[in-house]
Amino acid sequence: MYSHMVVGSNDLERSKRFYDAVFGALGGSEGHLDPKGIVLYLHNAGVFIVTDPINGEPATVSNGATVAFAASDPAQVEAWYAAGIAHGGKAIEDPPGPRERSGMKVYLAYLRDPDGNKVCAAHLMG
């Protein structure tokens, strides 16, 4: 069902620094910035893209949307959160920690990336 996720950016270099840091905290590699204005990340069979909007308009955030990245344990969620804050992310919602949703226990952390996109690191706690 899922192929890839794309978010827009108004400053690709700034976004690349942020996403390189948060993906690095999850064990991923740095993104590749191509000449067409696309930063591509490949990790754990997932594809994540940061790009200048194709229509030439400024990038804006989606109200109600969240991009969630899988973490292997709560420590990796905390490392992701710290890396994001250190590279221009903004803390939102509750601090990182366990949440119960629909009978599932998940360890979560939420940030806004430098362009305002809502991103999350999540570890399913069994």
User: Which helix or strand (DSSP H or E) is residue 118 part of?
Assistant: strand 118-124
Domain membership of residue 58 (yes or no) is no
For residue range 24-41, list pLDDT tens digits in order.
999 999 999 988 889 999
Range of the domain at 31: 5-53+66-124
CATH of the domain at 113: 3.10.180.10
In this predicted structure, what is the pLDDT of residue 87?
Answer: 98
Domain membership of residue 60 (yes or no) is no
Domain membership of residue 33 (yes or no) is yes
Domain membership of residue 61 (yes or no) is no
Domain membership of residue 10 (yes or no) is yes
The secondary structure of residue 73, as a DSSP letter, is: S
Domain membership of residue 59 (yes or no) is no
In the chain, the number of structural domains is 1
Q: Is 20 in a helix, a strand, or coil?
A: helix
Domain membership of residue 83 (yes or no) is yes
For residue range 47-92, list pLDDT tens digits in order.
999 999 989 899 999 888 999 999 999 999 999 999 999 999 999 9
